[in-house]
Amino acid sequence: MNSLERLFRLDDRIALIAGAGSGIGRAAARGLAAAGAVVICADLNLPGAERTAEEIREAGGRAQSLLLDITDEHSVTDAVQQIRAGHGKIDVLVSTPAVNVRKRLLSYTGEEFEKVVRLNLKGSFLIAQAVARVMSENRSGSIIFLSSIRSVVVEPGQGVYAATKAGLVQMARAFAAELGSAGIRVNCIAPGVVETPLTEPIKSKPEWYRAYADKNALGRWASAEEMAGPIVFLASDASSYVTGAVLFVDGGWTAIDGRFQPPL
């Protein structure tokens, strides 16, 4: 293995993936394990986390499952303490859980607002804070939040979700500013349209599904597995000088107009 290949390796690093039971979290767990990490597959859906961990072990990787509710401080504290007791450190955190209530803002209830903010923003804060305290002791680590193209572009029905994803970017930047001196890097990945359980309702509406595909330069949706490479990059030494950044993995959605192909 040459020095360039080693930059992307995560051998023996301890990686906690919140939301590993499905979607991007599952893909992240599998990708990090393939790069050599010992993966902690954490999810409120414990059977889903267990399935992901089993898939990794069947492929020759190292993984375990863990019950985790990132919106509950006690659950977060217990999970982080378990990992610390078992492994002595946490090198990588990937936080993926999110929820969206698709409604126009004038129709939103306070309860719905709280639901979206509680998971997408507060939950991400709680798990990052707890893990960063452990990382600070070892003076190294990489924290990766899953933001979205909705942090910079929005459509009707996405207002509160978009606000949380934009807030997540600023929170990542603040963590990066405060934790840089401890050797901890904090970044965001901002996916475009990805086929996950969260977006499954759109797939059942062909016109809507196709419109989203046509909006980006590649003309298609992403698979969850296509997020694994960027996550491994941000977790590894290949991104050792990258912090406070947002990596858009959106097929060009935010780079192009996308509404019309002029007859040039």
Exposure string of 183-193, with b = 16+ CB inside 10 Å and e = fewer, is ebbbbbbbbbb
Q: Name 14's bridge partners.
A: 38
| Residues forming a β-bridge with 146 | 189
* Backbone φ, ψ for residue 76 (5° rounding): -60, -50
The Cα 146–Cα 49 span in angstroms is 18
Q: What is residue 255's DSSP assignment?
A: T
Is the distance from CB of 42 to CB of 20 less than 8 angstroms? yes
Q: Is 212 a catalytic residue?
A: no
Nearest by Cα to 41 from 68, 60, 77, 11: 68
Write the CA distances from 52 to 47, 65, 180, 205, integer angstroms: 9, 8, 32, 29
Among candidate residues 161, 209, 212, 241, the one labeled active-site is 161
- Return the closest-CA partner of residue 39 out of 54, 136, 24, 47: 54
- In this structure, the strands spanning 184-191 and 141-146 are parallel
Between vectors from CA 252 to CA 193 and to CA 241, what angle results, nearest 5°? 100
Catalytic residues: 161
